Every structure is written in C-alpha cells, then in structure tokens.
Structure 1
Amino acid sequence: MKTFIYALTRTPISEKEAESLLTEMENWIDFKINTQETKIMKEDIYPIHRETDGIRSEIRILAETMQNGFTLMKERFEKMDQKMDFIRENLEQQIQASRVNLEQQIQSSRENLEQQIKSEKEINQQRFLAMENHFKFHEKLLYTIIGLMVTLSIAVVVKILMV
C-alpha cells in the first residue's frame, strides 16, 4: 500500500485526481470484497443454510413423528392397563368363586366324612355288641357243656360206685 501511495505521489497528477483515484480504488476493492462475499455466500454459506434448514425441518418432522409415536404408545399402554385391570378383576372374581366353591366342597366333604365316621362307629359298635353277645352265648354254652360233663362224670362215678 505504501508503494502504491508512493507511486501516486510521484506521478504527475493533482492531489484531487489522486484522491479520486484512491476513492475509485477503494470502491473497486469494496466491490471486489462484496462480490467475493456474495460468491462465498452463494457457494458456501447458502448451501449450508439450506442444508441446516433441511436438517431442522427433518428434525421437526422426526420430533412430530416421535411425539405422535409417544402419544400412540401412551394410548396403547393405557389400553393395556385397562385390559390388565379387567383381566385382574376377572381373575380375582374367578379366584374368589373358586375359593368359595372349594370351601363348600371342603365343608361338604368334612360333613360326609363325619357322617361316614359316625356311621362306621355305629356299625362297629353294633358289631362289637354282637360279638360280645356271641361270646356271652359261647361262654354260657361252654359253661353248660362243662356243667353237663361234670354232671355226667359225677353220674358215671356214682354209677360205678353203686355197682
């Protein structure tokens, strides 16, 4: 730049012309800078902007899709919870009904067993009494036979002694 100013001062032009030349040079440099900025914007920055805008819109679309997916999942979970609650309540009712049914069956079985035990006790008692009566009969029969044998033995001994 110093060389340029030095060259301008050495040239036979007036100061106004030099100033005008410098102004034109500044304008030309500004124009080149603006042209280069525009070119860089068009070639480098605008594609990046478009790409980031595209990425942003894709992100927005993905976010909306995810939001919709989460909403659907939440609805599905709520429906599953409702189904699970219904199934759980149904199972609890079935369990309660089964419990009542089992308790009734157990009570009925208990009553039947108690009745059978009572019946068996009565039958065994009757058998015991019958056996006892049978033994008493046999005991009396045995004592009668022994009495007859003793009487016959005495009668035979008396006959023998009488003879």
Structure 2
Amino acid sequence: MALPIARPVEKYSRRGISIFLWLDKIADTQALTPTRAELDGGLNLSAAIASISGFTLENQSIETPDMSDGFDSSIPGSDKAEDSSLVFYEDKVTNVIEEALAKGKQGNVVMLRKGDVPGSKSMDVFPLRVGSQSPAYTADNEAAKFEVKFTITRRPAQALAVPAVGATAKKALS
C-alpha cells in the first residue's frame, strides 16, 4: 500500500502574521475560548513586542527503571507551563501597555499564531498573572524597552478555533 503524498508545507514567519492580544477577562472561564467580541475588544500588543520567552507547555516525564533491564524507561508525568515573559518597546507618549500589564494583574495572553483567520485552529490562550514589570536600562544604541514577566495560573488552552467575524451577533439573535 502506497503512503499518501503530503503537499508541500507553506512555511511562514510569525513576524507580521501572528497577533498577540491581552484580554482582562474571558467569559468562558472553563474552556478559555474567547468570543469574537472579546478578541475585538482586546489590547493588541503585537506592534510593541520586541521579544518573547516561554509560552510553552512541557511534560515532566517520570523515570521508571526496573531490575529486568539496564535501560531507564520513563512514562509521561504532569504538564507544566514555564514562567513566560514579553519584552516591549517603551512608548515615549503613553503608558497603555504598562498600565494594562501592571504587577499583580490577572488576565490572558491570546495568540493568533496564523493571524486572524476565522476557523483556523491556531489560537492559544494563556491565563496568567503579571509577576513583574521592569524597564531595561542600557547605554547601547537601541530602543528603550521594558520586560513583563508572567506566571501561568492554569493549563493553557491551545489549538482553539479562531471565532468567525460576526459570530457573537448571530449568537445573540438566536
């Protein structure tokens, strides 16, 4: 039996495509699935982001060696999201991001990995708390920046479908 031929992968760069939003609240607290209205009302952080760290889910395997074999086997253990951070370019005129992401604030970073493509299962939601916010001082020839460090407060929701445009309006009418 012949294996199916996969079509070539259409590679892309996340820069200029991926969208990063801050949402103070998501009504669906169980599934962490934002509505179109919630996405549209979120704070778009994308143009201010200089670098990203973390925002991954990792399994902590459990070693299970036994006396019958010299090989140390393992089994999947619990999942953990490492602490994460975003480095932003500082805005000389406003403090919108600094105020939205003040120390202690709780909210959600929503990532539309492939952009705002309704139906695409490329939306990730990380519920978190701001652990710190610190300006980065340097004498180097570079733009002013500040770093916001987050702790992930519960299991992120990954590979969610991006809601359709007008989806909330249709729901409200039915």
TM range (shorter): under 0.3
TM-score (norm 1): 0.14
Greater fraction of residues in strand = 2
Q: Which has the higher contact order (CA 8 A, sep 6+)?
A: 2
Question: Which one has the largest radius of gyration?
Answer: 1
Q: What TM-score do you get using the length of structure 2 for normalisation?
A: 0.13
Answer 1 or 2: which has greater helix percent: 1
